[in-house]
Structure 1
Amino acid sequence: MADPAYFIAQIQVDDWDRFIGEYGSVALPTLMEHNAKILVGGPGATVLEGQWAGNHTVVLEFENREALDTWYASPEYQAARPFRDATTSLNNIVATEAFVMPE
């Protein structure tokens, strides 16, 4: 990947069964369609410093920012969002590019 981009989510899942069954079953196929790589996806984050809200952390890698934005705006992923919103109470979500060393 020349210039990967990352989708990072800090989520508070309130209903795991519905989150996986409803949101997961719709959202996961969209990731495959858009060639996303799931780097992190689970409740196992350990806070080393500061405060971390939520009980589920996700980090997705995309080929570039355009690929990430295309996936996020796609009708297929947008159809999944109401399922996420219905089963969570916190959704801190960011998109960012990979670090590039300054010259």
Structure 2
Amino acid sequence: MTLSPSSILDHGGRYLVAGPTPEPVEGTWGSSRFLVIEFPDMDRIREWYDSPEYRRARGIREGKVGVGMLFVEGAPPEGFSLPA
């Protein structure tokens, strides 16, 4: 049973990108997978991360799989601009 996907969906998240073989073209990437998951807002992603369901998934993989994770605010639908 895979715990993470159902816990993500239960907290309003959805997978935007899920790739088994990222291809770095600048810098390095130390993992064989890459995921981008969207949540409605930062509060929801924090609720998911601290949920009993996801804590259980984290416990199962602890010491077995290295995971890097970032929480990032998204751009508004009309786009964004980088500071000069």
TM range (shorter): 0.7 to 0.9
- Aligned partner of 2:45 among 68, 78, 96: 68
Displacement, 1:35? 1.6
Which runs of 5 or more residues in structure 2 are unaligned? none
Residue 75 of structure 2 corresponds to 99
Aligned length: 78
Q: Runs of 4+ in structure 1 displaced over 6 angstroms?
A: none
Identical positions, percent:
27
CA RMSD, 1 decimal? 1.7
Q: Which has the higher contact order (CA 8 A, sep 6+)?
A: 1
Displacement, 1:86? 4.2
Q: Does 1:54 align with 2:31?
A: yes
Please report the TM-score for the alignment, with normalisation by the length of structure 2. 0.79
Structure-2 separation of matches of 1:99 and 1:35: 18
Structure-1 separation of matches of 2:9 and 2:75: 24
